[in-house]
Amino acid sequence: MPTIMLMTGRRLLVALLGLALLASGCSGSGRGTAADRSGRSGRSQALSADATSTNDTVGSPCGWQGTAPAHYQHVIWVVFENHSYGDLIGPVGSTEQQRAPYLNWLARHCGLATDYHSVTHPSLPNYLAMVSGGTGGLRTDCLPSACPQDLRTVFDQLQAHSRSWRVYAESMPAACTKTDAGPYVARHNAPTYFPARTTACRARDLPMGSLSAGHLVDDVRAGSLRALSLVIPNQCHNTHDCSIATGDRWLSKAMQLILGGADYREGGTAVFVTYDEGAGGYSGQSCSTDPDRSCHVVTLVVSPTTTPGTRSSTRFDHYALLETTEHLFGFTTLLRHAGDLSTHSMRSAFGL
């Protein structure tokens, strides 16, 4: 009987899993909307993508939703350290691809900014640029007690619009820790530098825990991510002290968690994976007027409406990341250099 296909054990398992997902979607959770139906597809794609992260035949975690929301419910930044674009991105089979297979897989299946730059060197001024649109005049790294800041930030914007934020800092010993402690360093945790906002910092700047338990896992699994989430890996997993391969494995697990969560599946979340700066350069270097490979860094855009394989050669930087985030939340006033004519939003380039 040629019209009848025998179902293999694997196909039977897939069918049963599909029925289980359908049943869970009809469980009366209040999420039975078109966005939820799209989200279930996004979840299965995200999980399969992680399971075979170098296999280009699996579905993409991006591009499964047709229309971008006017305003986003959630934006997530994941920030790594001190590797230049040319150290990380390459064709399949290249040294770069082999040392960071998941990063390259995600770049091919979501969005990649091919001309994205840090603002300066070293780390701290770049983190301040991301959240405030300025470097605070800093040309070096220093602890919060030595160089406190009083700039208006995206956290203030969120509060003014009755939106919330949260930092998930891996290996941080306690909320809003303002000193270095083991593999945690304060210079990668921008909210700790604003003493006038210490109360909010203590409430919202939290130890991440691990990728199996802790604040990040709890919030993702509960579908309770804040409007803006900053995920800050420790000095090993951000590739500062450990290998690119170590950071790549960590990213793969972190993205599996995030992309499998209810917030991403509902279709109103955008994820940006970036590096604070590249390798080399010098303190105080202006990456806008004196750019070199130390300024050129990888930035990926992951969203349900980003067409898989999107690449943009527009020049972006950390101010563009801030401007894009402000636009995604519907803010009309942009912070400092985020509002410069030379700063370009990433929204249209990546279908956000």
pLDDT in tens, 179-193: 999 999 999 999 999
Q: Which domains does the chain have, with CATH numbers?
A: 72-339 (3.40.720.10)
Q: Interior CA angle at 252 toward 247 and 256, to 5°?
A: 145
Residue 84 reports pLDDT greater than 50: yes
Over residues 230-276, the pLDDT tens digits come to 999 999 999 999 999 999 999 999 999 999 999 999 999 999 999 99
Identify which has the larger pLDDT, 198 or 14: 198
Helix (H) or strand (E) holding 130: helix 123-132
- Token pair of 346, please? 């990433």
Residue 224 reports pLDDT greater than 50: yes
**Three-state DSSP class for 106?**
helix
- Token pair of 202, please? 């203590």
Please tell me the distance from the alpha carbon of residue 139 to that of residue 278, in angstroms, as a whole number: 16
Residue 14 reports pLDDT greater than 90: no
Mean pLDDT of 89-105: 98
Helix (H) or strand (E) holding 15: helix 9-25
Confidence of residue 11 (pLDDT cuts 50, 70, 90): very low
Question: Is there a cis peptide before residue 183, judged by omega within 30 degrees of 0?
Answer: no
Q: Could you give the dihedral angle defined by the CA atoms of residues 275, 258, 179 and 241, in that order, rounded to the nearest 10 degrees?
A: -50
Please tell me the distance from the alpha carbon of residue 134 to that of residue 153, in angstroms, as a whole number: 9
Over residues 47-79, the pLDDT tens digits come to 333 333 334 435 799 999 999 999 999 999 999
Mean pLDDT of 329-333: 97
In this prediction, residue 58 carries a pLDDT of 54
Residue 25 reports pLDDT greater than 70: no
Surface-to-core class of residue 320, CB atoms within 10 Å of its CB (0-12 exposed, 13-18 middle, 19+ buried): buried
- Token pair of 324, please? 């894009």
Identify which has the larger pLDDT, 46 or 139: 139
In this prediction, residue 210 carries a pLDDT of 98
Please tell me the distance from the alpha carbon of residue 257 to that of residue 259, in angstroms, as a whole number: 6
- Least confident among 36-50, 210-224, 285-299: 36-50
Place of tokens 């230049």: 84
In this prediction, residue 17 carries a pLDDT of 36
Handedness of CA 319, 246, 59, 95 (dihedral sign): positive
Max CA separation in the chain (angstroms): 79
Percent with pLDDT over 90 in the chain: 83
Query: What is the chain's length?
Result: 352
Percent with pLDDT over 70 in the chain: 84
- Token pair of 249, please? 């494995």
Please tell me the distance from the alpha carbon of residue 119 to that of residue 116, in angstroms, as a whole number: 10
Mean pLDDT rounded to a whole number for the chain: 88
- Token pair of 190, please? 């921008």
189 touches 207 (CB < 8 A) = no
321 touches 274 (CB < 8 A) = yes
Beta strands 74-80 and 269-275: pairing type? parallel
Please tell me the distance from the alpha carbon of residue 90 to that of residue 222, in angstroms, as a whole number: 36
